[in-house]
């Protein structure tokens, strides 16, 4: 009784902690899916999130008087689940973004490189504090940023960029290719050393 922890209480606490990480992570990803209008994903995640939550809450409520330490595991799992959910969502990189690139004089070169890779780019001439600049706009999948930004930085290390969430786009093009890190194609497999 009280804050003492026996083996069974510790095991129950760890199960509550892990299950709470799962349900809060699902909730975080579900919330982001709702914002992006992904109804089927939000529905499925919400269903499983609530199933796990009900099982956890009923366990904690029934045992809180005999083992108040379970409230600690519950809260710790909640806090950890928020962080895990954000990290998982970043890894999945759902949705579309608008990538805005501002560069002093490398706009045409950056636009050409991105277009050669199959990315649609619209360019504008703008006016900055120090004079004329090139503005490039591209609507792309969030997961494509990991290879688009290195191309931009390769052309102009001083380029300024901004990303914004795009809930909907009337049209996006799938890139022709996505560079794979460390992969040089089948020729590298058959190349003699």
Domain boundary assignment for the chain: 7-92, 96-166
Cα–Cα distances in angstroms (integers) from residue 1 to residues 15, 60, 152, in the given order: 19, 14, 61
Q: Where are the beta strands (DSSP E) in 80-159?
A: 96-103, 122-128, 131-141
pTM above 0.85, yes or no: no
Considering the domain 96-166 in this protein, what is its CATH number?
A: 3.30.70.120
Average pLDDT over residues 106-130: 90
Q: What is the pLDDT of residue 189?
A: 44
Q: Is the pLDDT of residue 185 over 60?
A: no
Three-class SS state of 16? helix
138-148, pLDDT tens digit by residue?
Answer: 988 888 888 89
Q: What is the pLDDT of residue 183?
A: 47
Q: Is the pLDDT of residue 51 over 90?
A: yes
Average pLDDT over residues 156-167: 86
């Amino acid at each position: 009784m009280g804050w003492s922890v026996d083996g069974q209480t510790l095991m129950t606490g760890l199960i509550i902690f892990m299950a709470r990480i799962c349900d809060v992570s699902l909730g975080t990803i579900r919330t982001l899916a709702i914002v992006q209008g992904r109804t089927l994903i939000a529905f499925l995640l919400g269903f499983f999130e609530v199933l796990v939550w009900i099982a956890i809450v009923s366990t904690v409520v029934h045992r809180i008087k005999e083992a108040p330490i379970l409230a600690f595991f519950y809260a710790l799992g909640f806090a950890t689940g928020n962080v895990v959910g954000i990290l998982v969502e970043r890894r999945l990189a759902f949705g579309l973004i608008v990538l805005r690139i501002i560069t002093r004089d490398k706009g045409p070169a950056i636009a050409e490189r991105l277009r050669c890779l199959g990315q649609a780019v619209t360019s504008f001439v703008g006016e900055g504090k120090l004079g004329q600049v090139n503005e490039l706009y591209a609507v792309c999948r969030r997961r494509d940023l990991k290879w688009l930004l290195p191309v931009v930085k390769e052309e102009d290390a001083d380029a300024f960029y901004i990303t914004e969430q795009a809930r909907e786009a009337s049209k996006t093009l799938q890139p022709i290719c996505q560079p794979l890190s460390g992969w040089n194609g089948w020729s590298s497999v058959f190349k003699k050393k």
